[in-house]
Amino acid sequence: MAEKKTLSRQRASSILNAAAKRTVLVTGDAMLDQFIWGDVDRISPEAPVPIVNFKRESFMAGGAANVARNLTALGCQAQMHSVIGRDDAAKTLRELLKTDGVGCQPLITDASRQTSCKTRIIAQRQQVVRVDRETRNDVEPRLAKRLAKSIANGLAEANALIIGDYGKGVITQNFLDELKALGRRHNAWLSLDPKPIHSLDLRDLSLITPNRKEAFELAGISDTSRHTQPLKDKNLMRAAKQLLGTLELNVLLITLGELGMLVCEPDKKPFHIPTLAREVFDVSGAGDTVIGTFTLAIAAGAAPNEAAMLANHAAGVVVGKLGTATVTPKELLASF
């Protein structure tokens, strides 16, 4: 029987209702996103740069922590497992996660690390500059073992784990291997958003969600041509086929920006989902929304193509908002 290529509002509602009874774990690089908002009406006499007149500032959980807040926004239970510093950014991040309903007791404090903080200065709805403060060293092995133990305990109640690798030191090869072993032991779904610059063995995961550039880098293939119809893009099809076979994935989900998403499964024809975004204000955090929504839908019993279509709707909503945004079940269903 052929799989349906559309997702009805009724089926989406059924998936979200089931999702509300699920718990999903998140691990990886938890960050704090700081936004400084202002206006520009003149250029500095000291250098050819705009002078931003400060109006307000706001903070949001970012990185893997943004994945966790996307999950709770959709109504499920989420736990954040990571290592952060003992600083003001860590304190703010914990408070934000608690406000968003994310379980943050598993967070481990390491006084030698600086909590990753990305400061974005925005004027007239446009990002002027970003300042990053962070530690990129690998987490100490003893802390990685503590993290793995807390995840093992969490998998007693959850059947899915999202791994957010942003190259800041939490996800090492040894830690990833331990997570794979835990996934097999608990029969849990493992999703990972890869960063090719951080070379890791990605075999035996359930799902990876690279964008087009990352997919070609992971496949070791040059992106020499581009077709407006992804299924007719021979170069893209070659990269997808190689990744799916080499990494032995359950699902490969390649995000293609304005061209939507490509869903690939073993022994099935690739499935293209056109984008649903009507107006794009900010794409930051959209990938977090995609991997969070997809994984939660799988945990709720959805088929991969259904999970991808739901994630596509979620991404279409969040890119219409400023900042690292989330989507609620009500907003998500309204998009159908």
Q: What are the tens digits of pLDDT across the range 36-83?
A: 999 999 999 999 999 999 999 999 999 999 999 999 999 999 999 999
Domain coordinates in residue numbering, the chain: 9-36+52-334
Contact 36, 119 (CB under 8 A): yes
Distance (Å, rounded) from C-alpha 292 to C-alpha 74?
A: 9
Contact 207, 287 (CB under 8 A): no
- The token pair that represents 300 in the structure block: 């709720």
Distance (Å, rounded) from C-alpha 258 to C-alpha 275?
A: 6
At residue 1 the predicted structure's pLDDT band, cuts being 50, 70 and 90, is very low
Encode burial over 215-225: b for 16+ CB neighbours within 10 A, e otherwise. bbbbbeeeeee
Distance (Å, rounded) from C-alpha 26 to C-alpha 67?
A: 7
Could you count the other beta carbons within 10 Å of the beta carbon of residue 268?
A: 13
Distance (Å, rounded) from C-alpha 93 to C-alpha 90?
A: 5
What pLDDT, in 10s, does the model give residues 239-252?
999 999 999 999 99
Distance (Å, rounded) from C-alpha 190 to C-alpha 25?
A: 10
Instruction: Calculate mean pLDDT across residues 278-286.
Output: 59
Alpha-carbon separation of residue 14 from 24, 53, 184, 223 (angstroms): 18, 47, 28, 39
Contact 23, 158 (CB under 8 A): yes
Average pLDDT, the chain: 92
Catalytic position from the list 29, 100, 165, 288: 288
DSSP bridge pairs for 194: none
pLDDT of residue 170: 95
pLDDT of residue 286: 82
Going by DSSP bridges, is the β-strand pair 23-28/251-255 parallel, antiparallel, or unpaired? unpaired
Contact 81, 107 (CB under 8 A): yes
Alpha-carbon separation of residue 201 from 164, 165, 205, 210, 268 (angstroms): 15, 13, 10, 15, 24
Is the per-residue pLDDT at 152 higher than 50? yes
Instruction: Calculate mean pLDDT across residues 140-165.
Output: 95
What pLDDT, in 10s, does the model give residues 75-129?
999 999 999 999 999 999 999 999 999 999 999 999 999 999 999 999 988 889 9
Which residue intervals of 187-252 are DSSP H helices?
A: 212-219, 234-247
HSE (CB half, 13 Å, CA atoms) of 330? 0
pTM value is 0.92
| Residue 288 annotated as catalytic | yes
Burial group, residue 152, by CB count within 10 angstroms (0-12, 13-18, 19+): middle
pLDDT of residue 224: 84
At residue 99, the 3 state secondary structure works out as: helix
Which residue intervals of the chain are DSSP H helices?
A: 9-19, 64-73, 88-99, 141-154, 173-186, 212-219, 234-247, 286-299, 304-318, 329-334
Burial group, residue 112, by CB count within 10 angstroms (0-12, 13-18, 19+): exposed
Top-tier CATH class for 9-36+52-334: alpha beta
What is the amino acid identity at position 282? D
Distance (Å, rounded) from C-alpha 206 to C-alpha 137?
A: 27
